[in-house]
């Protein structure tokens, strides 16, 4: 190839470039397209860079139409949620990056739409805009499981450290959905949004302190706290009689079934604290606790301390009466103590470990059907079910207090080497005889024919 | 459609996936020795059916363990302080997923104090992982 040719022999232009797209090096005139000079043709792979079809045929690379539509969808979601422009820009950047990644470039359009929602979600979280995954799923009309999977894959490939969802931040936005202002409902049922939210936030904080929130889906908890907040702000007969069903119909929200259980759990906690109020003479029950909610929330830290102390004293008295000395110390160690409450009788960590590891702990008086018979320290060590530590403390996660019934594990032979002799009779018991095999095939055929008809 | 035969035996109570290539996966055993014994039994069944099977290259691929620390755990606190290893999305799953680097084990930590450890090739990795996580969990017992 002559490197010295500087003018095109066809048009005389000096605009000559080296064209290295193909395995034969060429010098080409840009103005008229003539090949000015070329190198030796070769059929050997010279190790040049791979030339893709799109690169050789593209004139000007146009942006992908689906990417454009996706970015528009991101914009639309941001506008519906009324987020600020910074979140919108972040979302679009993340969407462009994720879209072009190999994990998402070839997925279905439906998944790409879900990706758009996830980009908005992560941008909102990073910029402290409270929003739940449920809201995004609802907006996209997508399965929350699919949204969750796409979200986790996206933050992994983009290496985003998204902050964790905090329920207290979201509840204010969530409470706006409830149409119970004086514009929507009669005056006696109406409630000011600010008061409602403030009370609901305090209830959620109390629920979080007493192990009701951790590990649970947040939306039913928010619904329960808003319902209880609404009832307690004006605890008259009318409000107290209104069920959650009717409340949700009135507020024009969809009722969530788990919210019923959360209401019961939160009422139980409120009752435990309500019993510690010194000026309340009557017994505090779930039916009358709503009247005390204001006082309970105003003095909740002091009431928590009192309740824990009372519980500890009760356990100590019981243990002294029954001659045991290990239980109350362990119980006190599992208490709520988020607000700097220090238990002066707090056990050492070693004692708790000893108590936790022991399988010789005394059983409760009755056979509690809820106590799960699983072995904490090994399935075959003890035939007696492990005592439920959740029942001995004042506040514990509900899944510990009311554990699911588990299938009892059969105690298996422990000393197995893996090289034992295998008896022929045992193996034969797994193999069908020719007659059994014939009968089985015939039955299957009959069943499949009957299914077809 | 699944390109394997699913077979089960009663003792040790396990399930096996047997592929036409002769490879087999045996799951559900309670120990390494149980797993080896069960795999040998499956191989013996296949031999008795007339195939020229041999039992070779037995290897433990995954071990799952569970335990209970018997105190509740503040998952929200744990995910804040160990963000680079933890993933906690209560809207998706009630447990916190902790991906330990050394040993390379994944732990599912629940508010009840129950912990599931998985991804181990050897028993020692499970014990090491638990030795590493227990002091961290104790830190979230009392705030």
pLDDT at residue B143 is higher than 70: no
The CATH code belonging to domain B63-140 is 3.30.310.10
Could you tell me how many CB contacts below 8 A there are between chain A and chain B?
120
A148–B91 CB contact, under 8 Å: yes
State the architecture of A1-41 in CATH terms.
Single Sheet (2.20)
**Structural contact between residues A292 and A280, judged by C-beta atoms closer than 8 angstroms:** yes
Task: Tell me the HSE value of A382 on the side-chain side, using a 13 A CA sphere.
Answer: 17
pLDDT for A256 equals 92
- Which residues of A, range 163-222, sit inside 8 Å of B by Cβ? 164-166, 208, 211, 214-219
> CA of A242, closest CA in chain B: separation in Å?
28
> CA of B121, closest CA in chain A: separation in Å?
17
Which pTM does this prediction carry?
Answer: 0.77
pLDDT for A19 equals 78
Residue of B nearest to A393 (CA): B71
Contacts of B72 in chain A (CB under 8 A): 211, 214, 334, 396-397, 400
What is the H or E stretch that residue A314 is in? helix A300-322
ipTM over 0.85: yes
**Structural contact between residues A246 and A308, judged by C-beta atoms closer than 8 angstroms:** no
Contacts of residue A14, defined as CB under 8 A and 6 or more positions apart, other chains included, come to: A6, A7, A8
Stretches where chain A sits below pLDDT 70 are: 1-5, 20-24, 39-61, 324-387, 409-414
Q: What's the pLDDT tens digit per position in B5-31?
A: 999 999 999 999 999 999 999 999 999
- Which residues of B, range 64-123, sit inside 8 Å of A by Cβ? 67-76, 79-80, 83-84, 87-92, 94-95, 110-113
Task: Return the ∠ at Cα A168 (arms to A93 and A85), rounded to 5°.
Answer: 25
Query: Length of chain B in residues, anyone?
Result: 143
Closest by Cβ to A334, choosing from B71, B75, B110: B71
**Structural contact between residues B130 and A357, judged by C-beta atoms closer than 8 angstroms:** no
Q: Where in chain A is the domain with CATH 2.20.25?
A: 1-41
- Which residues of A, range 110-139, sit inside 8 Å of B by Cβ? 132-134
d(CA B102, CA B49): 44
Q: What's the pLDDT tens digit per position in B32-79?
A: 999 999 999 999 999 999 999 999 999 999 999 999 999 999 999 999
Residue of B nearest to A339 (CA): B143
The per-type count for chain A, helices as H runs and strands as E runs, is: 19, 3
Q: Where in chain B is the domain with CATH 3.30.310.10?
A: 4-49, 63-140
Whole-number CA gyration radius for chain A: 35
A164–B88 CB contact, under 8 Å: yes
CA-closest candidate to residue A224, choices A272, A281, A264, A178: A264
The CATH code belonging to domain B4-49 is 3.30.310.10
- Which residues of A, range 252-281, sit inside 8 Å of B by Cβ? none
A164–B36 CB contact, under 8 Å: no
Read off the tokens for A282. 């009557």
Contacts of A418 in chain B (CB under 8 A): 32-37, 40
Interface residue of B9, B43, B71, B126 to substitute, partner A, most A CBs within 10 Å: B71
> CA of A250, closest CA in chain B: separation in Å?
26
d(CA A98, CA A115): 8
CATH superfamily of A168-314: Cyclin-like (1.10.472.10)
Closest by Cβ to A132, choosing from B74, B91, B138: B91
pLDDT for A281 equals 87
A152–B90 CB contact, under 8 Å: no
Read off the tokens for A294. 């204001």
Read off the tokens for A14. 């000096």
Q: What is the mean pLDDT of chain B?
A: 94
Task: Tell me the HSE value of A280 on the side-chain side, using a 13 A CA sphere.
Answer: 21
- Give how far Cα A77 sits from Cα of A137, A354, A406, Å: 11, 54, 44
- Provide φ and ψ at A402, rounded to 5°: -125, 75
The CATH code belonging to domain A65-165 is 1.10.472.10
Q: CB count, 10 Å around CB of A278?
A: 8
B76–A166 CB contact, under 8 Å: yes
B94–A215 CB contact, under 8 Å: yes
**Structural contact between residues A6 and A17, judged by C-beta atoms closer than 8 angstroms:** no
Contacts of B36 in chain A (CB under 8 A): 418-419
Read off the tokens for A218. 């947040």
């Amino acid at each position: 190839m002559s490197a010295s040719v500087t003018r095109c022999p066809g048009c005389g232009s000096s605009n000559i470039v080296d064209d290295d797209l193909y395995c034969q090096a060429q010098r080409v005139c840009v103005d008229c397209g003539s090949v000015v000079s070329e190198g030796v043709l070769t059929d050997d792979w010279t190790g040049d860079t791979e030339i893709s079809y799109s690169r050789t045929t593209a004139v000007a690379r146009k942006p992908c139409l689906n990417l454009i539509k996706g970015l528009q969808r991101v914009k639309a979601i941001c506008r519906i949620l009324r987020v600020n422009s910074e979140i919108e820009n972040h979302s679009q950047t993340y969407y462009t990056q994720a879209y072009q990644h190999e994990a998402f470039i070839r997925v279905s359009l439906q998944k790409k739409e879900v990706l758009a929602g996830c980009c908005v979600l992560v941008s909102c979280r990073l910029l402290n805009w409270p929003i739940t995954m449920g809201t995004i799923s609802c907006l996209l009309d997508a399965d929350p499981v699919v949204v969750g999977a796409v979200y986790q894959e996206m933050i992994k490939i983009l290496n985003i450290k998204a902050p964790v969802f905090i329920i207290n931040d979201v509840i204010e936005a969530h409470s706006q959905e409830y149409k119970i202002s004086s514009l929507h409902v009669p005056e006696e049922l109406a409630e000011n949004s600010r008061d409602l939210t403030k009370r609901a936030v305090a209830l959620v904080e109390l629920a979080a302190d007493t192990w009701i929130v951790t590990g649970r889906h947040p939306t039913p908890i928010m619904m329960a706290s808003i319902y209880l907040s609404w009832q307690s702000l004006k605890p008259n007969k009318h409000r107290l009689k209104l069920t959650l069903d009717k409340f949700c119909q009135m507020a024009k929200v969809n009722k969530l079934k788990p919210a019923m259980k959360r209401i019961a759990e939160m009422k139980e906690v409120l009752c435990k604290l309500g019993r510690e109020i010194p000026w309340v003479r009557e017994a505090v029950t779930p039916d009358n606790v709503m009247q005390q909610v204001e006082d309970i929330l105003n003095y909740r830290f002091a009431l928590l301390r009192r309740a824990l102390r009372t519980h500890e004293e009760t356990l100590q008295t019981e243990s002294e009466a029954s001659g045991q000395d290990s239980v109350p110390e362990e119980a006190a160690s599992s208490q709520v103590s988020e607000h700097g409450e220090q238990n002066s009788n707090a056990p050492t960590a070693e004692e708790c470990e000893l108590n936790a590891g022991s399988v010789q702990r005394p059983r409760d008086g009755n056979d509690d059907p809820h106590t799960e018979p699983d072995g904490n320290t090994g399935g075959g060590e003890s035939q007696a079910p492990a005592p439920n530590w959740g029942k001995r403390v004042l506040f514990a996660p509900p899944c510990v207090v009311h554990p699911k019934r588990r299938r009892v594990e059969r105690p298996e032979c422990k000393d197995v080497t893996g090289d034992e002799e295998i008896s022929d009779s045992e193996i034969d018991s797994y193999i069908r005889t020719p007659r059994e095999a014939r009968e089985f095939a015939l039955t299957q055929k009959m069943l499949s024919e009957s299914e077809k008809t | 459609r699944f390109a394997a035969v699913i077979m089960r035996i009663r003792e040790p109570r396990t399930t096996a996936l047997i592929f036409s290539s002769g490879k087999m996966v045996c799951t559900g055993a309670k120990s390494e020795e149980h797993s080896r014994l069960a795999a040998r039994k499956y191989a013996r069944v296949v031999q008795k059916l007339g195939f020229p099977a041999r039992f070779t290259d037995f290897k433990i691929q995954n071990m799952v363990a569970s335990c209970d620390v018997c105190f509740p755990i503040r998952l929200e606190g744990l995910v804040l302080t160990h963000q680079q290893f933890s993933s906690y999305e209560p809207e998706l799953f009630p447990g916190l997923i902790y991906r330990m680097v050394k040993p390379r084990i994944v732990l599912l930590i629940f508010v009840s104090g129950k912990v599931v450890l998985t991804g181990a090739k050897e028993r020692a990795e499970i014990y090491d992982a638990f030795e590493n996580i227990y002091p961290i969990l104790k830190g979230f017992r009392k705030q």
